[in-house]
Every structure is written in structure tokens, then in C-alpha cells.
Amino acid sequence: MKSLVPAVAVWGKTAPSHSITAVMITDDQQTIVTGSQEGQICLWDLSSDLKVSSKEILFGHTASVTCLAKARE
């Protein structure tokens, strides 16, 4: 049996300009990391009142970013 997962828009009125293919939230829940079909990795600040603002865009991948994982210390 398939379960339906509702979509959640966390970007407010303006969505990111890239096609998101992967999402990860850091352990401290203050940063959202997204991977894109265009090969970018974007970092987003997440405030305590759940407002999202762009932080950094990382370039360099030549293929889509389809998976994100955190590294161990």
C-alpha cells in the first residue's frame, strides 16, 4: 500500500530558481541543504520562526545532485 506524502512549501512567496532533487536538514535544524538538477548545492538559513533565507550556493558538480548526506566528524 502506497502512502501519500503531502508537499510542503518552505520558501515563502519566492521559490528557488533551481530544480530541487535532494533535501537535507542539519542536526541543529538551522540549515536546509538542497541539491539541484543543475548540479548546485544550496545552503539555506532556517530561523526559529521557520523563515527561510538563502545563505550560499556551491557550484562544481557536472551532474544532478540526487542525494545528500552528512559526514561523520
By the 8 A CB rule, do 35 and 65 touch?
A: yes
Please list, in sequence order, all residues whose beta carbon lies within 8 angstroms of the beta carbon of residue 25, skipping any fewer than 6 positions away.
31, 32, 33, 46
pTM of this structure: 0.72
By the 8 A CB rule, do 23 and 68 touch?
A: yes
Specify the pLDDT at position 53: 83
Summarize pLDDT for 33-70 with one digit per residue, the tens: 999 888 889 999 988 887 888 888 888 888 999 999 98
Q: Give residue limits of the domains in the chain.
A: 20-59
More confident residue, 13 or 49: 49
Distances (CA, A) of 64 to 5, 6, 27, 32, 52: 23, 24, 24, 18, 23
